[in-house]
Amino acid sequence: MDMLQSVTYGFQVALQPINLIYCFFGVLIGTLVGVLPGLGPSAAIALLLPSTFKLAPVSAIIMLGGIYYGAMYGGSTTSILVNIPGEAASVVTCLDGYQMAKKGRAGPALGIAAFGSFIAGTLAIIALTLLGPFLANIALKFGPPEYFSLMIVGLMVLTYLSSGSMIKSLMMAIVGLILGGIGMDFISGKYRFVYGLQVLADGVGLVPIVMGLFGISEVLLNLETEIKRDILTTRVKNLLPTLKDWADSIWSIIRGTIVGFFLGILPGGGAIVASFASYAIEKKVSNHPEEFGKGAIQGVAGPEAANNAAAGGSFIPLLTLGIPSNAVMAILLGALMIHGVKPGPLLIKEAPDVFWGTIVSMYIGNGMLLVLNLPLIGLWVQVLKVPYYLLYPLILLFCLIGSYSIGNNTSDVILMLIFGVVGYLMKKFRYDGAPMVLGLVLGPMLEESFRESLMISRGDFSIFIFRPISLVFLVVAILLLIIPIITQRKKLSTLEES
Amino acid sequence: MNKADRICGIFWLVFAVLVSIESYRLGLGTLYHPGPGFVFFWAAIVLGIMSLVILIQAWGSKNSEESGIHYLGKLSIRKIILVLISVFLYALLMEKLGFIPITLLLFIFLLGIVERKGWFFTISTSIVVTALAYLLFETWLKSQLPKGVLEFLRF
């Protein structure tokens, strides 16, 4: 009954007109961002973050969160119609979605993607509602050693699951960690890696770095090649999937939801990884694996459900533990802290309006998205027709203004641009940016919990092993490190290349 | 990928060495009271080891791996460099010149010179975008963008 009261309270918060409006804006912008290639939810959230400073924390998170799961919906539109993923989590949808469209089945593809996303999103939020308070209770038992070990797991999971070389991902995570150390060390009061530059004294900002790594670098990369967009001009009819489509896809949706949800919860997981994992699973369990890549509806339904479930699930570590599970959540964590809200096990007690209001608004947001995506397909197709030579100056302008308005400081803009170049080079040399961001955000927390643990134990490293929760996490982390070496598993990235 | 990996490997190795030296200088402290450089020293050591692995892999493997870097054509490099110059100049001059003039200049440059669109289109689009951006960011979102040379107009 306590749960019912909490959910009712959540509805009271989420249904306030101001929060409804921001939820709508969030999902609308999210869909737009998902539709437009070259701008992902991380960059969009980072761009809009400064404009939320004047809002109440709950409204800000509702809007920014809406952008994230909204982008999951929008990304499928471009993948299916144009074979260009609107954002990374929709890469997999291109494989079969576009093939379905070429066979004149764009409607059902879009339809099943939207419905699958809705079902998965809703189920994930229900799970979030049920698991959230439970996990928050467990988290109250967490001390510095547990937090340290959990964050190590998070970095390991991300490294294990990211595309490309595992060594490179781990390197990027460490670089992120080092970058996170720039500025003042709170325990000793010393300045680290500042070299007398006042601008570095407060550390390097997360937002400019993310905007540079994901926004600017993407623009630079797209400038290299003329992306020929052959938008399928055949009219998209029959958005409602047939009964047979439903019969074929329902289990894929359910599997995708489960896979996506758990991968979303795990720090280091997230929507991108979830969609790849789901595709791999669907292909494995299918009776007709040869159809994958040629227009198998399961190849759309599963991953689309997975990425939405992951988006929902990834809120759990953020809201209950205060640990971001992926780059987007890291930015949201930054946003919450800027608003003076400290996410963690106490959030549910100290700011129940943020906790329950956000969760409930996600139900509402998912409903809005279903309505937005299907009838407005025509509109999104028009948006896609905006030529890139007009789009990228706008994206650049957004980034420039956005980074400036963080602190009314051109040094943030310059930092963003530097990381834009860095991000571009990283992409060329096949280094992934997500581990760096996670390292940047988790780094300070990781270091703090590590040093606190050692202080508590008077220098005895066994504190990490003798505490059971911490031991479990460390074992998982070690397994994740060792398994690839032993089994030489096929990387999910081979899927990308196929 | 080999040449690229070698360059990267060396870069990260140098980076790791520099960070470990600086971290050591900051103080490693003791095990029961780790200093500000403790975690970063060991992180840099691990980074250094991994960059060595990358280097060894790059030197050891045959050239059969597909090239990950497609070398840019002259045209693409030109665009990227011009865009980079324009955005860096935007950042450096935005407070001096002010939001409206610098944004106009940016769009005129990008559309007119980089993308080589017609001047009527360039100028009209630049004006429209600048006006809309101003309305969005300054008037609605109250971002407090720099006034620069237009200070006297008290927008």
DSSP secondary structure, B62-94, as one string: -TTSPPSPPPPPHHHHHHHHHHHHHHHHHHHHH
Is residue A157 over pLDDT 50? yes
Quote the tokens at residue A190.
Answer: 């010393």
Query: Residue A102 in contact with residue A232, Cβ under 8 Å?
Result: yes
B133 touches chain A (CB under 8 A): yes
Tell which wins on pLDDT, A486 or A167. Answer: A167
> Residue B64's pLDDT is what?
47
> Residue B93's pLDDT is what?
93
Whether residues A408 and B80 touch (CB distance < 8 A) is answered with: no
Quote the tokens at residue A351.
Answer: 């700011």
Q: What is the pLDDT of residues A349-361, one digit of tens each?
A: 888 888 888 888 8
B35 contacts in A (CB within 8 Å)? 188
Whether residues B106 and A397 touch (CB distance < 8 A) is answered with: yes
**For chain A, percent of residues with pLDDT exceeding 70:** 91
Quote the tokens at residue A339.
Answer: 């608003």
Among A132-141, A177-186, A221-230, B47-56, the least confident range: A221-230
Among B12, B31, B72, select the one facing A454 at the smallest CB separation: B31
pLDDT band at A346 (very low <50, low <70, confident <90, very high): confident
CA atoms within 13 A on the CB side of A341: 30
B53 contacts in A (CB within 8 Å)? 167
Tell which wins on pLDDT, A477 or A496. Answer: A477
* Mean predicted confidence (pLDDT) in A119-140: 84
Whether residues B143 and A171 touch (CB distance < 8 A) is answered with: no
Interchain CB contacts (distance < 8 Å): A and B: 158
- Residue type, position A484, single letter: P
Is residue A493 over pLDDT 60? no
- Using a 10 angstrom Cβ sphere, with 0-12 exposed, 13-18 middle and 19 or more buried, the burial of residue A20 is middle
CA distance A177 to A372: 39
Nearest CA in chain A to B102: A397
- Residue type, position B75, single letter: L
Nearest CA among B78, B87, B47, B71 for reference residue A418: B87
Question: Which candidate in B143, B145, B147 is best for mutational testing of the A interface (most A CBs within 10 A)?
Answer: B143
B143 touches chain A (CB under 8 A): yes
DSSP secondary structure, A389-452, as one string: HHHHHHHHHHHHHHHHHHHT-HHHHHHHHHHHHHHHHHHHTT--SHHHHHHHHHHHHHHHHHHH
Among B53, B76, B144, select the one facing A408 at the smallest CB separation: B144
Q: What is the pLDDT of residues A184-223, one digit of tens each?
A: 887 788 888 888 777 788 788 877 887 788 778 888 888 8
Among A174, A223, A460, select the one facing B76 at the smallest CB separation: A223
Is residue A225 over pLDDT 80? no
What are the structural domain ranges in chain B? 2-60, 74-153
Query: What mean pLDDT value characterizes chain A?
Result: 82
Is residue A62 over pLDDT 80? yes
A459 touches chain B (CB under 8 A): yes
Whether residues A171 and B32 touch (CB distance < 8 A) is answered with: no
Strands, E assignment, A187-330:
191-192
Among B19, B32, B44, select the one facing A455 at the smallest CB separation: B32
CA distances A341 to A1, A54, A322, A338, A441, Å, are 27, 14, 10, 7, 16
A447 contacts in B (CB within 8 Å)? 39-40
Q: Is the pTM of this model over 0.80?
A: no
Whether residues A400 and B88 touch (CB distance < 8 A) is answered with: no
Q: Does ipTM surpass 0.95 in this model?
A: no
* Mean predicted confidence (pLDDT) in A251-277: 83
- B83: Cβ contacts below 8 Å, ≥ 6 apart: A219, A220, A223, A396, B110, B114
Among A175-189, A382-396, B100-114, the least confident range: A382-396
Task: Give the gap in angstroms from C-alpha B77 to the nearest C-alpha of chain A.
Answer: 7
Tell which wins on pLDDT, A494 or A471. Answer: A471
Whether residues B87 and A187 touch (CB distance < 8 A) is answered with: no
Among B8, B15, B32, select the one facing A458 at the smallest CB separation: B32
* Mean predicted confidence (pLDDT) in A297-303: 91
